[in-house]
Amino acid sequence: MPTERPFLHDPDPGGTTPLGAVPPALFDLAVNRADAALRGLRPTHPETVLAAWHARTRFARRVPLAAVLAALAHKPSEPSAAGWHWAGGESGGWVAGRAPFP
């Protein structure tokens, strides 16, 4: 039995391991899933929780953690009946309503 755990890597403190441009749909998915994880957990230190989430989530590792944190920092504080989701890739923004992807 191998001792290595596939697809589970230590988090990169800078969150900068990906190479190349991140596709907009992947960026949107990473931000929206990170937001959902924080909504469910409500941690006192979200950066620590997101670093662990980023390290164990295969698709999220292709998106810099620093970029995900920056997008989450700009989430509107006013409530929306349908919620908020990120759309438009790295240069996108928060849009009222549900995300087209879970």
Q: 64-96 pLDDT, tens per residue?
A: 999 999 999 999 988 888 899 999 999 999 999
Dihedral Cα 83, 86, 87, 89, nearest 10 deg? 180
pLDDT for res 10: 55
Q: Is the distance from CB of 8 to CB of 55 less than 8 angstroms? A: yes
13 domain-assigned: no
* Residue numbers of the domain that contains 83: 24-96
14 domain-assigned: no
6 domain-assigned: no
46 domain-assigned: yes
pLDDT band at 102 (very low <50, low <70, confident <90, very high): low
Integer angstrom CA distances of residue 66 from 11, 12, 70, 84, 90: 12, 10, 6, 20, 11
Q: Is the distance from CB of 96 to CB of 84 less than 8 angstroms? A: yes
CA 27 and chain centroid, separation: 8
Q: Percent of the chain scored above 90 by pLDDT? A: 43
Prediction pTM value:
0.76
pLDDT for res 41: 84
Q: Which residues pair with 94 in a beta bridge?
A: 86
The number of distinct structural domains making up the chain is 1
pLDDT of residue 55 exceeding 70, the answer is yes
8 domain-assigned: no
2 domain-assigned: no
5 domain-assigned: no
Tell me if residue 27 falls in helix, strand or coil. helix
Report residue 48 as tokens.
């620590």
37 domain-assigned: yes
